[in-house]
Amino acid sequence: MADERAGLADSVVVFPGQGSQAPGMGRPWRGHPAWAIVDRAERVLGRPLAPYLLDPAETPANTADIQLTVFLTGMMAWTALTERLGQPKLLAGHSLGQLTALTAAGVIAPDDAIRLIALRGALTDDACRRVAGGMLAVLGLDAAAVDECCALASGRCWVANDNAPGQQVLAGTPAGLAAAGRAAVERGARKLVPLAVPGAFHSPLMATAARAFAEGLRGITFHPPRRPLVSNADAALVTGTHPWRAELAAHLVRPVRWRESQLRFTELGARSLVEVGHGTTLAGIARRTVPELRPRGVDGPMAVDVLATLLSRAAEAPPAALAVR
């Protein structure tokens, strides 16, 4: 019988960012030992967060609470997953998910991560109120063509996420996004999708938030990771000390290099990808970029059980049974 505790030995575990949330997404975890991180966050911040995770009628009114619920859901899934299946080969996170990955890897203490995410959300909320902005997904163009579209927006629009071949997300002012969107359609974009976010994340319009966040990061202690990490800023492998303080502040105004990060996973020998937290956004993106990693999602205790069964069967199957037909 295969050792379950080695089930993730060839996997990369990835954490989603803002946008993956949904009402009641924490309900599968209520009563599970992993729920302890929610109680901990409520003690650290001195305010309730559980209603946002449990009550479909309760929706966070600000970016800080949205990001906290995404972080907490990811950490609950991580705790349950690794207690059952052991540690993965690699860790990574998309946007906000990078902070979740750093916490899972032991780079940041959980209490510090909770405070940082609350601060990050409050600062980006303030930046959104100061400068009108938004985000727009562009489907069906390559990265070079999307860069050209942004250049035509005269410094009012930037690539915020390079997610997958033919899938980039822009951030900018309303006028900048409109100009870049028109240019994208003229160049043959298949679809434009405005994102339901309050501002232009990962763009220069977050500069005030980045400066204030840099101050907040000064008092944080960063440790070497217990597991290797891939940074979404440049797809670099991190196994020791790293300038996280500077990188996390700059992250607010610079793009997420997720397509390059996914390609790096395969270069480093990962053979499967597991998204932990609510939804399967990153698993879907991975199917477009690195389908050979057989992307899967874990959003509750039952999903952990299903993944454990699948990995056990794969480990016990003879090589011929795993051949692609």
> Around Cβ 259, how many Cβ atoms within 10 Å?
22
Residue 203 designated active-site? no
Q: Tell me the C-alpha distance between 77 and 275, whole Å.
A: 9
Interhelix angle 36-45/110-130, rounded to 10 degrees, is 60
Q: Give CB contacts under 8 A, 24+ apart, made by 62-66.
A: 62/121, 62/122, 62/125, 63/18, 63/121, 63/122, 63/124, 63/125, 63/128, 63/198, 64/117, 64/118, 64/119, 64/120, 64/121, 64/122, 64/125, 65/121, 66/18, 66/21, 66/121
Cα dihedral 184, 185, 190, 191, rounded to 10, equals 80
- 95, 203, 231, 272: the catalytic one is 95
- 202, 242, 251, 278: the catalytic one is 202
Residue 20 designated active-site? no
Q: How far is CA 311 from CA 8, 76, 141, 305, in A?
A: 8, 20, 36, 10
Which are the catalytic amino acids? 95, 202
